[in-house]
Amino acid sequence: MNITDEKTISRILTEVYGKKIDIVAKSAWGYTTAAYYARADQDELIVKVTKYSDIKLPKAEKDIYLSNVLHGQLPTPAYIQNLDGAYITLENDLLIKVAKYIEGTAPFDMNLEIYRQVLGFLEKMHKIPLDMIKIDLPVSGKGEFFLHGDFTASNIIVSHNKIVGILDFEDSLRGPKEYDLARSAVFCWYRMKDISFRNIAVLTLNNSPEINQIEFLGFCKVHAKNHLDQVITNKENYDNEQFWRDDYNFSKRALEEINTITI
């Protein structure tokens, strides 16, 4: 999806953030979001851009708030303010966030070592006192734990096989640990090779023996089904038919495998 371009990002960083730009390059895209790497005034920045909506604005505000609050406990992004002192820039129909660049890459070739670190960070997040969070969080089901909501490969930065960045708290909520653990299990597994989902499920349950196994597997199936539905719904946002077809077939097979798992 072509949300904007490097020239526009360079202009915004110059005029709205007061930065002298050396380089701007597109680094990633999603269904509704694009990311740009920028080097400016000897600083390295990451610029995230999405189409503005009344739904996306409060989610972006939540992400920045939680990243700032949790920065001392987790490797979250350090967002920077624009010349007006705001963390979010609204430009025409664009919603823009700028943070210090974290050196590393998303672990799209996920492995068991990184996944064990994911489980460790989830355990740490689930111990965060809810009274530390001074904003209202959505509530899902039973359980009173702080949940990242989408702790997957797309929202992790890794350097030398170590997690050095945890991103995007837009979907954070209060709820049961099983929700978070299932989402990480499913979508981290999607990025692994030659590993069965049963092995990932057993590893997750062994790491968190206190959780409800049936609820965990139920959430796994829900997350996988929702992903397949999103692939179908967003067909027009893919670069070409074959790219979509490959993603559809993969997501369908993954859901079928997850649906066969019993504990």
pTM as predicted? 0.90
CA–CA gap between residue 162 and residue 113 (Å, rounded): 9
What ranges make up the beta strands (E) of 18-155?
Answer: 21-29, 33-40, 43-51, 88-91, 94-100, 145-147
**Structural domains present in the chain:** 6-100 (3.30.200.20), 112-259 (3.90.1200.10)
The model's pLDDT over 127-162, given as tens digits with 9 standing for 90+, comes to 999 999 999 999 987 888 999 999 999 899 999 999
- Residue spans of the chain under pLDDT 70: 1-2, 29-31
pLDDT at 141: 79
Instruction: Tell me the C-alpha distance between 32 and 151, whole Å.
Output: 18
Nearest CA-CA partner of 147 in 117, 179, 188: 179
What's the confidence (pLDDT) of residue 142? Answer: 81
Q: CA-CA distance, 67 to 48, in Å (whole number)?
A: 14
- DSSP states along 126-188: TTS-GGG--S---B-SS--EEE-S--SGGGEEEETTEEEEE---TT-EEE-HHHHHHHHHHHH
d(CA 187, CA 92): 34
What is the pLDDT at residue 31?
Answer: 59
Cβ atoms of 209 and 181 within 8 Å: the answer is no
Within a 10 A sphere around the Cβ of 49, how many other Cβ atoms?
24
Token look-up 């893919």 returns 238
Other C-beta atoms lying within 10 Å of the C-beta of residue 87: 19
pLDDT at 237: 83
Rg (the chain; Cα; Å): 19
